[in-house]
Amino acid sequence: MKRLFALGLIALTASPATAEMSARGNYILRCTGCHGIEGMGTAEGGVPPFPGSVGHIANTEAGRDYMMHVPGVIASSLSDSEIASVMNYVIATFDTTEAPDFTTQEVTRRRALPMTDIVVARRAVVQELETKGISIVDYPWP
């Protein structure tokens, strides 16, 4: 009986619903301080809103690199798997633009890439999107 209970518990904790709840919980605990519960960021804090942007950003290679280097991600104590889950949650929750899911391996690879200036990286992503006719929300940094 104990073994059946343990197997059931393992199956429950590995379910997609539980993974989504964990990603949402990590977002609430680790991201809302800057991005807010609604993902709207703050101009005063230099944090851009997610809606209308994050999906487009995640559809470019440079954008995916940028996302892995924003301060809250690069300095996160989350595992690469947890970061992938939170990123996928953010895109699915706050933007209607579909983007490929982040994987643990991709997060590991992209976080290892050097990035010297996050503001310059964001501007390059915006410029790339603009050449495709895609405008995203303003970035509050000069």
CATH number at residue 116: 1.10.760.10
Task: Give residue-wise pLDDT tens across range 19-78.
Answer: 667 999 999 999 999 999 999 998 888 888 999 999 999 999 999 999 999 999 999 899
Largest Cα–Cα distance of the chain, in whole Å?
62
Assigned domain for 6 exists:
no
Assigned domain for 11 exists:
no
Q: Is the pLDDT of residue 81 over 70?
A: yes
Instruction: State the pLDDT confidence band at 1, using cuts at 50, 70 and 90.
Output: very low
Whole-number percent of the chain with pLDDT over 70 = 85
- The total domain count for the chain is 1
Domain that holds residue 116: 19-131
Whole-number percent of the chain with pLDDT over 90 = 72
Given this model, what pLDDT does residue 18 score? 65
Q: Is the pLDDT of residue 2 over 70?
A: no
Assigned domain for 141 exists:
no
Assigned domain for 1 exists:
no
Question: Is-contact 90 51, C-beta < 8 A?
Answer: no
Rounded to two decimals, what is the model's pTM? 0.83
The identity of residue 32, as a single letter, is T
Instruction: State the pLDDT confidence band at 97, using cuts at 50, 70 and 90.
Output: very high
Assigned domain for 23 exists:
yes
Smallest CA-to-CA distance from 138 within 53, 22, 63, 72 is with: 53
**Residue 14, C-beta contacts closer than 8 angstroms, at least 6 positions apart:** none
Smallest CA-to-CA distance from 47 within 29, 31, 63 is with: 31
Smallest CA-to-CA distance from 78 within 15, 27, 38 is with: 27
Angle at the Cα of 113 (from 110 to 114), degrees rounded to 5? 145
